[in-house]
Structure 1
Amino acid sequence: MRQRSGRLVRLAALVTAVATVGSGCTVAVSGQPKAARVVARDTKSTSTINGSDGGQIDQLAGTALADIDRFWTDEFPASFNKPWTSLSGGIFSVDTADASAKPPPCTEKASDVEGNAFYCPSADAVAYDRAALLPVLQSKFGDAAVVIVLAHEMGHAAQKRMGITPEAERANPGKYPTILTEAMADCFAGSFTKWVSDGKSKSLDIGQDALDSALGALITFRDPVGTSPNDQAAHGNAFDRVSAFQDGFQQGTKFCGAMTVQNRVFTQQAFTSVDDRDRGGNLPFDQMIDQLTPNLNGYYQGVVTSLGKTWVPPKSTEVTSEPDCAGDQGPVAFCAADKSVEIDVKGDLPKLHEEIGDYATGLLMASRYGLAALAQAGKPTEGSGAGRNALCMAGAYTATVLKPQGEFGLSPGDMDEAVQLLLAGNFPTRDAKGKSGLEPGFARVEVFRTGVFDGDKACGIR
């Protein structure tokens, strides 16, 4: 079925933001259930949960935590040459809607847990809100969301067993900043998800079709736009968190445990101007088009001329509805016949700009200019490889504007917007005929990250 760009706008509106605070994660979520399932829910698992009501949320949490414990029993000694020890302080299910509920460790009252799931290092315990967090995540993103959140918190338990503790950070300030330990926990959650995806769990099933759900849940816990990476409570932006999760999924727990401030790149940044902060990091639509177009031309000219070719700036044509010059590429299209670019300035592109932010516009345009660069370099512009390379080129371009250069550069929140767009639809990976879009969103984010970190040499243009 052809996916019209109006569908992308509707999907994009479902992938929304919210923030992390304190030791856990306070969140308001929006989304829709995705494929993921519990194969064999352990109804007896709730007997080990403090404060459990025996209901399906605690059954899901207990099943997940039991599986996570089994995962670490094998993985921890294999990766870190130490035996794994199960939580000594237990698991706490908190009904935050009950004013009389007992508070778990690391809190003074039950309401402190509202909207949160966290690991308490002093008590070696995990606590979660079964009233206002886990059911909401399950409703919006499916069972996988609950599993991922708990796997993240158990990642912090693994850190303690590695000797990465608040006391260790106080003894060596800057060695284990919060943004690093949160990335490591996201990475561990990705490793556990791969273990489940590979069929090693007898209780859980998180297939490839559920990975977008996992990422959708994860990015709801991103930091507020403009949070400094040096903030004591920083957890990372959506791109950094997804990157860590995917690294764990691909590289395993040993890789996660080797993360340091020296070898980990974070794209999160604080606002550098009052004007940018007041705009929320977003340029008006028309201004974004005006500033982005010459910047894209400058970047791609450098790439193409470095190959011994001549860059001819694509003619940029503004249209008032979805471009139809070359199949269904969405609201921005590369027209192979005359090597031009058509931009929908009245329909879905302005809507995406408003729903997600200005880098939704930026990424779509960068990928279509990527197709133009491939064409001028004599490379294929049709087929799945061409679409992948176009998105990869957009990632390579993005890396060059991560920090403001002259009048144009990315603002805090732009990398979040890129992830949201990539999870919402496959237009940035469609070829010059509007076909071969890459699925799932998890794979699109991976291709984009390749361009960001490895540059155009990884994008099939050289």
Structure 2
Amino acid sequence: MIKRAAMLPALLVLVATACTATVSGTASDDGTVVSGGGVDASFVRNTDGGSIDRLAATVITDVRTFWQQQFPAVFGKEWADLSGGYYSVDTANAEAPAPPCTDSPQDVEGNAFYCPTADVIAWDRAALLPVLRDKYGEASVMLVLAHEMGHAVQRRSGITPQAERADPERFPTILIEAMADCYAGAFVRWVADGHAQHLHAGKDRLDRALASLVSFRDPVGTSPGASGAHGDAFDRVSAFSDGFEQGAKTCSEMSVDNRRFTQRSFVDAQDRSQRGNMPFGDFLNAMVPNVAGYFTGALSGRQWPAGQPPQVRAGGHPTCPRADQGPVALCPDNATVELDQISTQQLHNEVGDYATGTVIAGRYALAVLAAAGRPQEGPDAQRALLCLTGAYTGALLTGVGEFTLSPGDLDESIQVLLAYDYPGRDIAGNAISTGYDRLAAFRVGTLRGPGSCW
């Protein structure tokens, strides 16, 4: 978070109490997405026939069926399968065969890729797919391989490496990658709707799969125009969601003219040195008057019930609300927002300052619903408060008073909304159950503003 003016005086009393990624973490069971044990992996080159390659082969089989059906409808011609085939790579074995477009198996380590010159898809079966599966569930493998097939779709639709080199302003890498994420989303929706023969994946499986997509975001501060840029977490999740909600035709029509990317570079040395994060106390002191001022304006002449916006009190776990809203809670009876300093500071340290900011903004959004005479409980209220939180966040992209978002801040929103429901809890302590749907409501406000939330 960048604060563009001198630090405000203290306003709070804090009470003391291709597509490559390095994936790490502990295993966690999220069930399977494969029905009936999957398919025979013998069509995969260099396969060991093990569970990872059977999972990959099952995904490839269903995604090929998807494009056999969808490609004629979207592009007006028949789908042609990959002429070079599919390769599994044992990157743990230096003597293993190398796939086309590489010199050694180690060139594929931690990676899955589509090579347009050889028309092949290859994946690391030793250090990528099993780690993704164990950490994020099998649906994450589905996303990765569907994304790579999306690049094959692009080649068949005329977006070739030659076209990209000839007109890089029309086909920047970040757009090419967003289209592939979008095509992956369209495929996963087809699976979720029950059309796939071998795969099944409802929205309850998407949250951790989307977390894997977040892990593939560009390093914080990467320029959107950089060669090889894939987008920040917001860009990548947004592209996937557009495909999931609107289908492959929408993906095929993406362009630099109709696509807004939120990835950005650092604008000054101090922000870069802090990785876009302010110290916890400084952040609270600066954000609270900013968010209060923004939502006062959003009321469009209506008055706060107490005559002023809620004031923040930091201490232990909130005790004022009638129901558990999480570590930050709106207290309607005394017009305050109570903040558990220990929990929020831990979130701030582990995820980033705007993870805390997203949670606080959600409580002010809930207060706005009350001031505007809107319901504060139920599904409509839950969507509205997340939408308003997104609207405030979207305004910060261009600056609201003293604030503007730093690179990485939107990623912090994505992470906290995927992992926790309390940023969107209503006055009764209830929330939208899936991170995917929480993000959908948040994205509406971020991209369309507060008028889209009522």
Shorter chain as denominator, the TM-score bin is over 0.9
The answer for the alignment partner of 2:47 in structure 1 is: 52
1:316-351 per-position Cα deviation (integer Å, ceiling 9, x unaligned): 242321112112111111111122211222x21101
Q: 1:269 aligns with which of 233, 251, 264?
A: 264
Q: Distance in 2 between matches of 1:36 and 1:176?
A: 36
Shift of 1:364: 0.6
Tell me if 1:376 matches 2:371: yes
The answer for the alignment partner of 2:450 in structure 1 is: 456
Tell me if 1:386 matches 2:381: yes
Shift of 1:34: 2.2
Q: 2:325 aligns with which of 326, 329, 334?
A: 329
The answer for the alignment partner of 1:338 in structure 2 is: 334
Q: Distance in 1 between matches of 2:168 and 2:350?
A: 40
Evaluate the alpha carbon distance shift between residue 33 and residue 184 of structure 1 in structure 2; reply closer, same or farther with a 3 A threshold: farther
1:418-449 per-position Cα deviation (integer Å, ceiling 9, x unaligned): 0000011111111123x221111000000000
365-374 vs 396-405, greater mean Cα deviation: 396-405
The answer for the alignment partner of 1:436 in structure 2 is: 430
Question: Which residue type is aligned with residue 328 of structure 1?
Answer: D
**Percent sequence identity over matched residues?**
51
Q: Distance in 1 between matches of 2:368 and 2:335?
A: 10
Asked if the contact 1:381/1:432 (under 8 Å) is kept, the reply is yes
Q: Distance in 2 between matches of 1:313 and 1:279?
A: 33
Q: Distance in 2 between matches of 1:378 and 1:149?
A: 45
Shift of 1:218: 1.0
- TM-score, normalised to structure 1's length? 0.91
Aligned residues between the structures: 433
Shift of 1:41: 3.4
Shift of 1:43: 4.1
- TM-score, normalised to structure 2's length? 0.93
Asked if the contact 2:21/2:215 (under 8 Å) is kept, the reply is no
Shift of 1:147: 1.1
Q: 1:254 aligns with which of 226, 240, 249?
A: 249
SS state of the match for residue 230, structure 2? coil
Asked if the contact 2:263/2:407 (under 8 Å) is kept, the reply is yes
1:133-169 per-position Cα deviation (integer Å, ceiling 9, x unaligned): 0010111111111111000000000000011112101
Shift of 1:26: 2.6
Q: Distance in 1 between matches of 2:175 and 2:201?
A: 26
SS state of the match for residue 337, structure 2? strand
1:158-194 per-position Cα deviation (integer Å, ceiling 9, x unaligned): 0000111121011112111110010000000000000
SS state of the match for residue 397, structure 1? helix
Asked if the contact 1:316/1:343 (under 8 Å) is kept, the reply is no
SS state of the match for residue 296, structure 2? helix
Question: Which residue type is aligned with residue 283 of structure 2?
Answer: M
Tell me if 1:180 matches 2:175: yes
Asked if the contact 1:329/1:427 (under 8 Å) is kept, the reply is yes
Q: Distance in 2 between matches of 1:239 and 1:119?
A: 23
The answer for the alignment partner of 2:290 in structure 1 is: 295
Shift of 1:25: 1.2
Tell me if 1:93 matches 2:84: no
Q: Distance in 2 between matches of 1:378 and 1:339?
A: 15
SS state of the match for residue 48, structure 2? coil
Asked if the contact 1:186/1:245 (under 8 Å) is kept, the reply is yes
Q: Distance in 2 between matches of 1:240 and 1:315?
A: 32
Asked if the contact 1:94/1:101 (under 8 Å) is kept, the reply is yes
Asked if the contact 2:280/2:345 (under 8 Å) is kept, the reply is yes
Asked if the contact 1:332/1:343 (under 8 Å) is kept, the reply is yes
Asked if the contact 2:290/2:401 (under 8 Å) is kept, the reply is no
The answer for the alignment partner of 2:12 in structure 1 is: none
The answer for the alignment partner of 1:70 in structure 2 is: 65
Q: 2:34 aligns with which of 30, 38, 41?
A: 38
Q: Distance in 2 between matches of 1:28 and 1:217?
A: 8
Q: Distance in 2 between matches of 1:82 and 1:180?
A: 23
Q: Distance in 1 between matches of 2:240 and 2:131?
A: 21
1:347-376 per-position Cα deviation (integer Å, ceiling 9, x unaligned): 211011111100111101111011111111
Shift of 1:406: 5.4
Asked if the contact 1:335/1:432 (under 8 Å) is kept, the reply is no
The answer for the alignment partner of 1:126 in structure 2 is: 121
Tell me if 1:171 matches 2:166: yes
Shift of 1:281: 0.5
The alignment yields a C-alpha RMSD, in angstroms, of 1.3
Structure 1 segments unaligned to the other structure (5+ residues)? 1-22
SS state of the match for residue 330, structure 2? strand
Q: Distance in 1 between matches of 2:174 and 2:271?
A: 23
SS state of the match for residue 122, structure 2? strand
Q: Distance in 2 between matches of 1:36 and 1:55?
A: 16
Shift of 1:405: 5.1
Q: Distance in 1 between matches of 2:205 and 2:161?
A: 34
Asked if the contact 2:182/2:242 (under 8 Å) is kept, the reply is yes
Q: Distance in 2 between matches of 1:387 and 1:331?
A: 17
Q: Distance in 2 between matches of 1:71 and 1:370?
A: 41
Shift of 1:404: 4.1
Q: 1:310 aligns with which of 300, 303, 307?
A: 303
Asked if the contact 2:327/2:340 (under 8 Å) is kept, the reply is yes
Q: 1:234 aligns with which of 229, 242, 250?
A: 229
Question: Which residue type is aligned with residue 379 of structure 1?
Answer: R
The answer for the alignment partner of 1:206 in structure 2 is: 201
